[in-house]
């Protein structure tokens, strides 16, 4: 029988302290709170997806720098990004992985098809869908664990239509993208345009996410002699549609869905001159509000040479609000408790982390904000009111 080794009192004391440190280690360890992301990080909409993700990453960096706590425990936030290639079936697979493997109580998705896919299971699986899409149906469906991050796009239809009608005429050709978000925009836009006395002379949706040559589709639409083209998808392909329309001789105006951003498009086509007569959402880079300009500066410091768009801004604030809601709820795993605090979370944000001026969340889960439009006139951006 082997005898136990003999220890001195000093050795025993050291051993006890070492054991105590090992035992205390997990209790003192910093908890990692993961927020999921499933969006396009490859393919035609890759830059759009990266813009959304960059805003999230910037928010997490700022939150972690403040040494956050939840229910008295120090935590560290982390974004877990997965590529879904703008494919809703891939979004559903990613969500399963994020919830099961990474225990995410919230997953941000920047396209309506993927959002719809997650809304079929999220209440049962206990996670919040952070929905970056302006489609009204996202909150109209009654899902109790959804946050719609940007304002509904329907608020843009009337003022955008009146602007281009007054400037160019009442005949429009619809050549937007063919994904779910664009289809929803088109379905709402057409009756809105016709209600104002306009005529739709052509409808030819195109695959913005899988093509770069739009000459054939645009040429077919231009054969109907429109005054205005209704376009929109991610910024890069939308810019190419506009550029190719100009090259085909089109002189009219453009209504641009809110997914595409005028400043990002201008960088693709070499300036605002090609976008003359286009109307869309106010570019973040052109918004002169102090909080917004401060956000643009901080973004540029974190991502040198980059200028943020709406995707970065809205999702940056949404992550700040989600983290604040977790802190107010005292949990990072109970999705229902966190969702119930999102309104308070937004309201508790300082202006510098809420540059878009979100005022809270309505009872359907949609943010409350005052959106702004912008048009290109004489090669420069001018504000266009969207307030009815």
- pLDDT at position 370 is 77
pLDDT tens digit string along 194-226? 999 999 999 999 998 777 899 999 999 999 999
SS3 130: strand
DSSP letter (8 states) at residue 375: E
The residue-averaged pLDDT of 172-181 equals 93
The residue-averaged pLDDT of 313-340 equals 98
Contact of 146 with 128, CB cutoff 8 Å:
yes
Identify the residue whose tokens are 């643009």: 296
The mean pLDDT of the chain is 91
Q: Cα-atom radius of gyration of the chain, to the nearest Å?
A: 24
Q: How confident is the model at residue 323 (pLDDT cuts 50, 70, 90)?
A: very high
Tokens standing for 250?
């089109």
The Cα 53–Cα 128 span in angstroms is: 17
Of 371, 370, 363, 311, the C-alpha closest to 342 is: 363
Q: Are strands 171-174 and 199-203 parallel, antiparallel or unpaired?
A: parallel
Sheet holding 199-203, edge to edge: 199-203, 171-174, 228-231, 253-256, 278-281, 373-377, 380-384
Residue 8 has pLDDT above 60, yes or no: no
Check for a shared fold between 31-152+289-368 and 154-286+373-384. yes
- pLDDT at position 259 is 87
pLDDT tens digit string along 69-102? 999 999 999 999 999 999 999 999 999 999 999 9
The residue-averaged pLDDT of 30-54 equals 93
The residue-averaged pLDDT of 52-56 equals 97
Q: How confident is the model at residue 366 (pLDDT cuts 50, 70, 90)?
A: very high
The Cα 150–Cα 161 span in angstroms is: 20
Residue boundaries of the structural domains of the chain: 31-152+289-368, 154-286+373-384
Contact of 317 with 357, CB cutoff 8 Å:
no
- pLDDT at position 178 is 92
SS3 75: strand
Residue 174 has pLDDT above 90, yes or no: yes
Q: How confident is the model at residue 9 (pLDDT cuts 50, 70, 90)?
A: very low
Identify the residue whose tokens are 């190719």: 244
- pLDDT at position 27 is 44
Residue 132 has pLDDT above 90, yes or no: yes
DSSP H helices, the chain, are 9-28, 46-65, 88-102, 112-119, 122-125, 137-140, 154-167, 180-195, 215-222, 235-247, 262-269, 290-302, 310-329, 335-340, 342-347
The Cα 248–Cα 380 span in angstroms is: 23
Residue 22 has pLDDT above 60, yes or no: no
SS3 196: coil
Q: How confident is the model at residue 45 (pLDDT cuts 50, 70, 90)?
A: confident
> Does the reported pTM lie above 0.85?
no
pLDDT tens digit string along 144-162? 999 999 989 999 999 999 9
Contact of 91 with 346, CB cutoff 8 Å:
no
Identify the residue whose tokens are 């604040």: 324
Residues near 23 by Cβ (< 8 Å), separated by ≥ 6? none
DSSP letter (8 states) at residue 206: B
Higher pLDDT, 184 or 44: 184
The residue-averaged pLDDT of 304-308 equals 92
Tell me the HSE value of 112 on the side-chain side, using a 13 A CA sphere: 22
SS3 364: coil
- pLDDT at position 195 is 97
The Cα 382–Cα 277 span in angstroms is: 11
Residue 126 has pLDDT above 90, yes or no: yes
Q: Are strands 253-256 and 228-231 parallel, antiparallel or unpaired?
A: parallel
Q: How confident is the model at residue 369 (pLDDT cuts 50, 70, 90)?
A: confident
Architecture of domain 31-152+289-368: 3-Layer(aba) Sandwich (3.40)
Q: How confident is the model at residue 388 (pLDDT cuts 50, 70, 90)?
A: low
Helix pair angle (215-222, 235-247), 10° resolution: 60
The Cα 17–Cα 344 span in angstroms is: 44
- pLDDT at position 283 is 92
The Cα 369–Cα 287 span in angstroms is: 15
CATH no. of 154-286+373-384: 3.40.50.2300
The residue-averaged pLDDT of 334-343 equals 98
The Cα 230–Cα 37 span in angstroms is: 30
DSSP letter (8 states) at residue 2: P
The Cα 86–Cα 43 span in angstroms is: 8
- pLDDT at position 3 is 42
């Amino acid at each position: 029988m082997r005898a136990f080794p003999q220890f001195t009192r000093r050795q025993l004391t050291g051993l006890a302290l070492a054991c105590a440190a090992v035992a205390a280690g997990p209790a003192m360890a910093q908890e990692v709170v993961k927020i999921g992301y499933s969006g396009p990080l490859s393919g035609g909409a890759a830059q759009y997806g990266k813009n959304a993700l960059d805003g999230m990453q910037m928010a997490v960096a700022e939150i972690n720098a403040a040494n956050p706590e939840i229910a008295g425990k120090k935590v560290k936030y982390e974004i877990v990004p997965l590529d879904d290639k703008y494919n809703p079936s891939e979004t559903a697979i990613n969500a399963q992985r994020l919830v099961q493997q990474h225990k995410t109580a919230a997953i941000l998705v920047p396209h309506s098809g993927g959002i719809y896919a997650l809304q079929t299971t999220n209440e049962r699986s206990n996670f919040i869908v952070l929905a970056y899409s302006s489609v009204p149906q996202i909150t109209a469906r009654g899902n109790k664990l959804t946050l719609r991050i940007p304002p509904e796009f329907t608020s843009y239809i009337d003022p955008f239509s009146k602007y281009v009608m007054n400037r160019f005429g009442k005949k429009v050709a619809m050549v937007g993208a063919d994904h779910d978000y664009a289809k929803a925009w088109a379905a709402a836009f057409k009756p809105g345009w016709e209600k104002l006395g306009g005529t739709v002379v052509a409808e030819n949706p195109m695959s913005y996410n899988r093509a770069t040559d739009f000459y054939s589709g645009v040429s077919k639409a231009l054969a109907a002699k429109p005054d205005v083209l209704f376009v929109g998808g991610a910024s890069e392909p939308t810019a190419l549609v506009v550029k190719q329309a100009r090259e085909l001789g089109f002189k009219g105006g453009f209504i641009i869905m809110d997914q595409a951003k005028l400043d990002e498009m201008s960088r693709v086509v070499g300036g605002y001159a090609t976008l003359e007569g286009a109307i869309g959402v106010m570019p973040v880079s052109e918004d002169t509000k102090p909080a917004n300009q401060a956000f643009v500066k901080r973004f540029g410091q974190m991502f040198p040479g980059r200028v943020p768009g709406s995707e970065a801004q809205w999702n940056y604030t949404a992550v700040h609000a989600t983290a604040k809601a977790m802190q107010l709820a005292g949990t990072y795993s109970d999705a229902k408790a966190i969702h119930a605090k999102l309104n308070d979370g937004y309201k508790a944000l300082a202006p510098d982390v809420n540059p878009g001026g979100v005022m809270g969340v309505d009872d359907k889960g949609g943010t409350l904000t005052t959106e702004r439009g912008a048009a290109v006139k004489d090669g420069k951006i001018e504000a266009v009111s969207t307030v009815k």
